Structure 1
Amino acid sequence: MLDLTNFDQNCVANPNNNIFGLPSTEENADLIIINVPWEVTVSYGAGTARAPESILKASMQVDLYDPDFPDAWKRGYYLKPTDRSVLLKSDFLRKEAELYIDYISKGEELGKNQFMCRTIKEVNEGGTYLNNWVYEQAKALLDDNKLVGLLGGDHSTPLGLFKALAEKHGEFGILQVDAHCDLRKAYEGFVYSHASIMYNALNEIPELKNIIQVGVRDLGQDEWEFIKNSNYRVVTYFDQEIKERQFEGDTFKNIADEIISKLPQKVHISFDIDGLDPKLCPDTGTPVPGGFELDRMFFLFKKIVESGRQLIGFDLVEVGTGETDWNANVGARALYKLCNILAGSNQ
């Protein structure tokens, strides 16, 4: 076990240390963050595959004192290094997917082009490979009694973690912070598309009791029909709905309490950074006007713990990489709060 008794949290972060400047290793840290550099199916902006490395660098500027969880960091946090073979596979398949998306966007028929038929097959096989890769890592860590988070990469990346958590914990729910529903079936022909993560989770994980979505402001008719016919397995708090309730005098505390009341005892937080106001994440893959300030989400996350529910895992995805470090700066602070809440919820 990592002994941080004499670690000076007020000193300048050592860049040779791990995430947030902590001298952690995979063996001695209690909380391990799986690094998933994958963005094969992104349908607009790219760059999130390299977000973990950017966030690691930016994390050295995050002060460790958190008044809500002042000693949580002493559990030890460790970000696994980038697996270059996964990143290279993502880069290769991303180029293939771009050609395919361009082809179908022009109304061309898939069956008339053998190259495109092979491309979609390879991309879908890549998605299966990635899911298994994440699952095996998450399962091994959970079997070793580690707390596990995931840093993407696009939003397709945490499915393997969801499956490992289901095996470990049984019934659980997901709090999904997102500008999108991600309930499309095989979006653009990609079975494990970033826009299909919650559809796949609901169909492949029977232990997943429900998904409570907050901040959604961009969806398709098919997704709305899915929500209406889900028998409350999906409950969506639209961004406009939340804001209109506040305009009418309701408080965000009341709304947060209502959201949390619909979650089961065990909760995973799936945090797509585009759930925030785009000024906080300008280079995320599919930005949408509207969204939350970061402090609203921190308040909501803290209330989950205060409600007596157990946070069993988290993922942070879709953080972009741009000309400045702003995306990584915000991403690092979101990641630190998620780590503290996961550690604080599992004393």
Structure 2
Amino acid sequence: MKHQIIDNFDPNGVSTHNSLFGLPFDENTAEMIIIPVPWEVTVSYSSGTADGPEAVLNASLQVDLFEDDIKDAWKMGIYMLPIPQDMVNTSSNYRILAKNYIDWLERGSPEEDLERFAAVPDLINKACAEMNDWVHEQAKKYRALGKMVALLGGDHSTPLGLIKAIANDHDNFGILQIDAHADLRVAYENFEYSHASIAYNALKLPQISKLVQVGIRDYCEAEYIMAKENNRITTFYDKVLKKESYEGKAWKIISDEIVDQLPEEVYITIDIDGLDPKLCPHTGTPVAGGFELEQVMYLMKELVKSGKKIIGFDLVEVAPGPEGDEWDGNVGARILYRMANLYGASQGRLSLK
């Protein structure tokens, strides 16, 4: 059946399929499943990341399927599950509750409103736990079918369920985190599953032997101390990487140093705000600095060429701009397609030159 689908599809033409990248596959014929998670309950600056999966889906039709270093990459098959509209609604409702609570915190937590807000953290934590449980079940289901599984957020709280599903099957793996933020805060704003706590929460899993953070440039003192004192964490700060490059150190050498810090199996989490904000101007918490897209993709290819194996990935914090502005979604779609193909190459399902 898959051979017939491939034979009847022209990757150089105009696709008639209203699907991710215009590909003709479904959840049965695709080798890779993308889980969309339209969730942004705990965001603490700008909203919009819940619309990320739809923005990437819409922009993905502009992505050419040809990869000059991965032969017939599109034939592997990538399929994104339907965006769960009930989750969109749930996220929106709890986001209002969380925003009002954050506003109360920023006003100094006035005593007269304590009764009104005291129960909010528990309500938000329960909702976020249910979201992560749903992601976990989806990931387990498709991984059990032999599929490669990736996630498209949503804010950076969304991948924890996928990481837990991978931890069910792998005793020792690392996380490579591309990000402007350390995300090592402990229950930031009293939300256990905060977008600013994903790295801290992931490290609770004993299967994760190493967290390698790259591009970090916005962090608090407690996060800095944690990263310095925890021997499972290695952080490549943006300002240090910039200094080294200004002084003549090649990105090839830096990339090799990053890859050397990782164990043989690697999960990759990409917060789009790790890039220069010109590439993602509407992401929830943009920070000046960051990478060019090709810098990150070069690093990812070097990781695959090293022989280390990608065992899963996510892309989070893509937020669309005003109506008609597809730039963030366009960049996000290109990251997603390239990462999907590198994941496939790492797993031996595609051939990388």
**Normalization by structure 1: what TM-score?**
0.97
Tell me if the contact between 1:13 and 1:61 (Cα under 8 Å) persists in the aligned partners: no
Q: Which residue of 2 aligns with 1:222?
A: 222
Tell me if the contact between 1:171 and 1:209 (Cα under 8 Å) persists in the aligned partners: yes
Structure 2: 5+ residue stretches without partners: 349-353
Q: Which residue of 1 aligns with 2:247?
A: 248
Q: Which residue of 2 aligns with 1:328?
A: 329
Please give the secondary structure, in 2, of the residue aligned with 1:214. strand
RMSD: 1.2
Is 1:12 the counterpart of 2:14? The answer is yes
The separation in 2 between residues aligned to 1:72 and 1:170, in whole angstroms, is 30
The separation in 2 between residues aligned to 1:53 and 1:125, in whole angstroms, is 25
The separation in 2 between residues aligned to 1:343 and 1:110, in whole angstroms, is 54
Cα distance 1:137–1:157, how it changes in 2: closer, same or farther (>3 A)? same
Q: Which residue of 2 aligns with 1:213?
A: 213
Please give the secondary structure, in 1, of the residue aligned with 2:310. strand
How far off its partner does 1:169 sit? 2.3
Please give the secondary structure, in 1, of the residue aligned with 2:119. helix
Please give the secondary structure, in 2, of the residue aligned with 1:257. helix
Tell me if the contact between 1:110 and 1:117 (Cα under 8 Å) persists in the aligned partners: no
Please give the secondary structure, in 2, of the residue aligned with 1:235. strand
Tell me if the contact between 1:104 and 1:110 (Cα under 8 Å) persists in the aligned partners: no
The separation in 1 between residues aligned to 2:107 and 2:288, in whole angstroms, is 27
The separation in 2 between residues aligned to 1:258 and 1:2, in whole angstroms, is 40
The separation in 1 between residues aligned to 2:154 and 2:85, in whole angstroms, is 13
Please give the secondary structure, in 1, of the residue aligned with 2:118. helix
Please give the secondary structure, in 2, of the residue aligned with 1:34. strand
* 1:264-279 correspondence runs (5 A): 264-279=263-278
Q: Which residue of 2 aligns with 1:290?
A: 289
Q: Which residue of 1 aligns with 2:351?
A: none
* 1:99-248 correspondence runs (5 A): 99-108=100-109, 113-203=114-204, 205-231=205-231, 233-248=232-247
Moved over 6 A (4+): none
Is 1:79 the counterpart of 2:80? The answer is yes
The separation in 2 between residues aligned to 1:249 and 1:5, in whole angstroms, is 49
The separation in 2 between residues aligned to 1:69 and 1:192, in whole angstroms, is 37
Tell me if the contact between 1:142 and 1:168 (Cα under 8 Å) persists in the aligned partners: no
Q: Which amino acid aligns with 1:216?
A: I
Q: Deviations over 1:17-69 (max 9, x none)?
A: 32100011111110000000000000001111011111111100100001122
The separation in 2 between residues aligned to 1:277 and 1:13, in whole angstroms, is 31
Tell me if the contact between 2:176 and 2:211 (Cα under 8 Å) persists in the aligned partners: yes
Please give the secondary structure, in 1, of the residue aligned with 2:337. helix
How far off its partner does 1:143 sit? 0.8
Cα distance 1:60–1:108, how it changes in 2: closer, same or farther (>3 A)? same
Please give the secondary structure, in 2, of the residue aligned with 1:287. coil
Tell me if the contact between 1:110 and 1:116 (Cα under 8 Å) persists in the aligned partners: no
> Please, which moves more after superposition, 31-40 or 167-176?
167-176
Tell me if the contact between 1:281 and 1:326 (Cα under 8 Å) persists in the aligned partners: yes
How far off its partner does 1:337 sit? 0.6
